[in-house]
Chain A
Amino acid sequence: MEANPRSTGRLPAAFLTPGSSSFMDFLTEHQPEVLPGNRQLPPVQGTVEAPHGTTIVAASFPGGVVLAGDRRATMGNVIAQRDIEKVFPADEYSAVGIAGTAGLAVEMVKLFQLELEHFEKVEGAQLSLEGKANRLSTMIRSNLGMAMQGLAVVPLFAGFDVDRGKGRIFSYDVTGGRSEERGFAATGSGSVFARGAMKKLFREDLTEDQAVTLVVQALYDAADDDSATGGPDLPRRIFPIVTVITEDGFRKLTEEESSAVARSIVERRQEQPDGPRAELL
C-alpha cells in the first residue's frame, strides 16, 4: 500500500511518525539497509585492502581549536591518493577529522553531518557539543564489525563549545570509546610522532596563528617518520588541510594561507631539519 518514498506517492507512515529527531533512528526504522552499521560483510581471509587515511592532529588555544590533517591515503605500501581531504566541517561549530579506511570514513562523516543538520532542523536548536561527540561515538561503535576485519575508522572531533566558550577536542578508539583531550591530540598512523612534536611545542597561551603553525609542524614531523603520512608537497601544491573553529564558527584555511604556513616551515627546516628545539630543562 505504501508508496516508495522516492517516487511521488504519499509519504509513508514512518515519515509522519512523531518522536525521534535523529536521522539515524529514522533510517533504522524506515530503511535499515542503507545504514553503514547494518551491512553484513562476508567472512574474508586475511584483511581487506582498501585505501587508508593517516594522520589527523588537533590543538586548542584560548578562544578556539584547530584541526588539521595530511593529504595522503595509502593502500599497503602504495600511495593510493595524494590529495585526499580528511578534515570536514561537522556543522557550524565543529569539525571532524578521520583516520582509517577512507571510503567508510567519508561515508561516516556524511551521515554524521546529516545527523547534526537533521536534528537542528527538526528541533530548531543545535545539539550540545557533548551530544554531538556522543552521536559520533555511536556511529563508530556500529562499525565495530568492519573494524574487526581491518576496516576501522578512528576520527578526531573538535568543536567550539558555545555554552562554555572554549574549544574542545574528543578522541575515539575503534570501539567507540570517547575521551576528551586536554590541549592537543592526534590520531592515525603518524599520530605517535605528531603527538611527540606537539608535546614539546604546545603551550596554553598560543594564539590562533601559532596553533596553526603548531599543527602543521606536528604533521611535518609525522610525515618525517611515518611513511603513510604525506608532508607538504611543494611541486604539486598539495598542503595540509587546516581548519579553525572559534566563536565565529568553522573556517577552513584557504590554499594560500595553508601554503604560506607550510612553506615557512619547510624553509626553516632547510637549516634545522628536525624542527624547532625545546628547552632541555
Chain B
Amino acid sequence: MSTPFYVSPQQAMADRAEYARKGIARGRSLVVLQYADGIVFVGENPSRALHKFSEIYDRIGFAAAGKYNEYENLRIGGVRYADLRGYTYDRDDVTARGLANVYAQTLGTIFSSAAEKPYEVELVVAEVGESPEGDQIYRLPHDGSIVDEHGSVAVGGNSEQISTYLDQQHRDGMTLAEALRLAVQALSRDTNGGEREIPAERLEVAVLDRTRPQQRKFKRIVGGQLVRLLGGDSSAASEEEDEDGGKGEGKDGDSAK
C-alpha cells in the first residue's frame, strides 16, 4: 500500500483558495454602490431570468459572483434564514450583519472542510438604513472572511481593477443616475485598460431604495426606466414608482401587525 504524499496544511489551503479564486474570476464582475437614497447593484448579465441580485428581506439585498448553483443555494438559504428569523422574532430583528455572519460561517466551514470542495462564490450582503450612515455593505469572499465595505464594492473576475477605479471616483451623496453611470463606466473597463460598450439590455440593475413607501425596499430597475437613468435624464427619478410593476408589495404601514 502506498503512502499518500505529505501536503502541508498551508499548501492545501493555498490550493483550495487558488481553485476558488479561479472559479470566481471566470464570472463577470458586479458592483454595489451607495447613493443618496440607498444602495444600487449593477452587473452585466445577459439573462433576464437568472438573477445575480435578489431580495433577501425588507431592507436586505444579495449579490453574488461565481458559480450559479452554489450562490443560488446560498441565496435560498439566506431567504429561509431571514424569513424564519422574522417569523420567530420580529421583522426588525433580521439584519444584514446576522445574515453575513451566517454566510461567513457557512462559507468558512465549507472552505476548510476537506470533504467538500470550496464554493466558487463571492457574495455581497447589503442593508439599507434610514439614512446613508445606517447603510451596511458586507463582502464575503470564498474563504469565510467578512469585509465591511463603505461606499462601493466590486466582486467577480476583474474586481481589483474595478474597485480601484470606484474608490477614486465614488463620492457620498451621488444621485441614482450618477451612481449608475459610474458603475457602468467601471464595469466597461477591460483588464488591458481599454473600454467596451455594455448595452442597457445586458445590464442587471436593482436598488434598495430607502424612500420607497413599502416595507420592502428592494426593487429591480428595468426597461425604459433604466435607459432613462443611463441617458442622464434627471426626470427619470420621479417616474421610478410607475415602473415598479409587480415587484415588492403593498403592505402599507402597520396594518399587518
With A15-B80, A85-B255 in contact, do A8 and B250 touch (Cβ < 8 Å)?
Answer: no
Q: Say whether A92 contacts B79, CB under 8 Å.
A: no
**Dominant SS among interface residues on chain B:** helix
Q: Say whether B101 contacts A89, CB under 8 Å.
A: no
The residues of B that contact A201 with a CB separation of less than 8 Å are none
Interface centre among B108, B248, B250, B257 (most CB of A within 10 A): B250
Give chain A nearest CB distance to B125 CB in angstroms. Answer: 13
Give chain A nearest CB distance to B165 CB in angstroms. Answer: 31
The residues of B that contact A124 with a CB separation of less than 8 Å are 49, 51, 54
B192 within 8 A of A: no
With A18-B73, A114-B87 in contact, do A11 and B81 touch (Cβ < 8 Å)?
Answer: yes
Residue on B nearest A249 in the bound complex, by CB: B250
The residues of A that contact B73 with a CB separation of less than 8 Å are 16, 18
The residues of A that contact B251 with a CB separation of less than 8 Å are 89, 91, 113, 250
**Dominant SS among interface residues on chain A:** mixed
Residue on A nearest B58 in the bound complex, by CB: A117
B237 within 8 A of A: no
Interface centre among B84, B108, B109, B257 (most CB of A within 10 A): B84
B114 within 8 A of A: no
Q: Say whether B76 contacts A18, CB under 8 Å.
A: yes
Number of A-B residue pairs, CB cutoff 8 Å, is 106
B15 within 8 A of A: no
The residues of B that contact A10 with a CB separation of less than 8 Å are 102, 105-106, 108-109
Q: Say whether B250 contacts A92, CB under 8 Å.
A: yes
Q: Say whether A91 contacts B255, CB under 8 Å.
A: no
Q: Say whether B87 contacts A110, CB under 8 Å.
A: yes
Give chain A nearest CB distance to B94 CB in angstroms. Answer: 11
Q: Say whether A89 contacts B109, CB under 8 Å.
A: no
Q: Say whether A89 contacts B255, CB under 8 Å.
A: yes
Q: How far is the CA of A5 from the CA of B82 in the complex (A)?
A: 10
Give chain A nearest CB distance to B99 CB in angstroms. Answer: 10
The residues of B that contact A202 with a CB separation of less than 8 Å are none
Interface size of A by CB at 8 A reads 40
A34 within 8 A of B: yes
Residue on A nearest B70 in the bound complex, by CB: A16
A251 within 8 A of B: yes
B193 within 8 A of A: no
Select which of B77, B248, B253 is within 8 A of A11 by beta carbon: B77
The residues of A that contact B81 with a CB separation of less than 8 Å are 5, 11, 15
Question: Interface-forming stretch among A23-31, A164-172, A223-231?
Answer: A23-31
Q: Say whether B250 contacts A34, CB under 8 Å.
A: no
The residues of A that contact B40 with a CB separation of less than 8 Å are none
Size class of B's contact patch?
Answer: 35 or more
Give chain B nearest CB distance to A28 CB in angstroms. Answer: 12
The residues of B that contact A251 with a CB separation of less than 8 Å are 250, 252
Give chain A nearest CB distance to B199 CB in angstroms. Answer: 23
- What 0/1 pattern do residues 249 to 271 of A give for CB contact below 8 A with B? 11110000000000000000000
The residues of B that contact A89 with a CB separation of less than 8 Å are 249-252, 255-256
Q: Say whether B105 contacts A88, CB under 8 Å.
A: no
The residues of A that contact B102 with a CB separation of less than 8 Å are 5, 8-11
A178 within 8 A of B: no
Q: Say whether B246 contacts A26, CB under 8 Å.
A: no
Select which of A110, A122, A126, A241 is within 8 A of B79 by beta carbon: A122
Residue on B nearest A116 in the bound complex, by CB: B249
Give chain A nearest CB distance to B66 CB in angstroms. Answer: 15
- What 0/1 pattern do residues 72 to 98 of B give for CB contact below 8 A with A? 111011011101111110000000001
B56 within 8 A of A: yes
With A117-B249, A126-B246, A250-B250 in contact, do A88 and B77 touch (Cβ < 8 Å)?
Answer: no
Q: How far is the CA of A118 from the CA of B109 in the complex (A)?
A: 27
B209 within 8 A of A: no
- What 0/1 pattern do residues 113 to 139 of A give for CB contact below 8 A with B? 110011011101110000000000000
Select which of B49, B88, B246 is within 8 A of A92 by beta carbon: B246
B44 within 8 A of A: no
Q: Say whether A34 contacts B106, CB under 8 Å.
A: no
Q: Say whether B80 contacts A250, CB under 8 Å.
A: no
Q: How far is the CA of A113 from the CA of B101 in the complex (A)?
A: 27
Ordered by A's residue number, 8 sampled pairs between the chains whose C-beta atoms are within 8 Å are: A9-B102, A10-B106, A11-B105, A15-B81, A18-B72, A18-B76, A23-B83, A124-B49
Known pairs A11-B103, A16-B106, A117-B83. 18 more at Cβ < 8 A? A5-B81, A8-B101, A9-B105, A10-B102, A11-B105, A16-B74, A23-B87, A26-B80, A30-B84, A89-B249, A89-B251, A89-B252, A110-B256, A118-B79, A121-B55, A121-B83, A122-B79, A162-B246
Ranked 3 nearest A-B pairs via Cβ: A92-B249, A15-B77, A250-B250
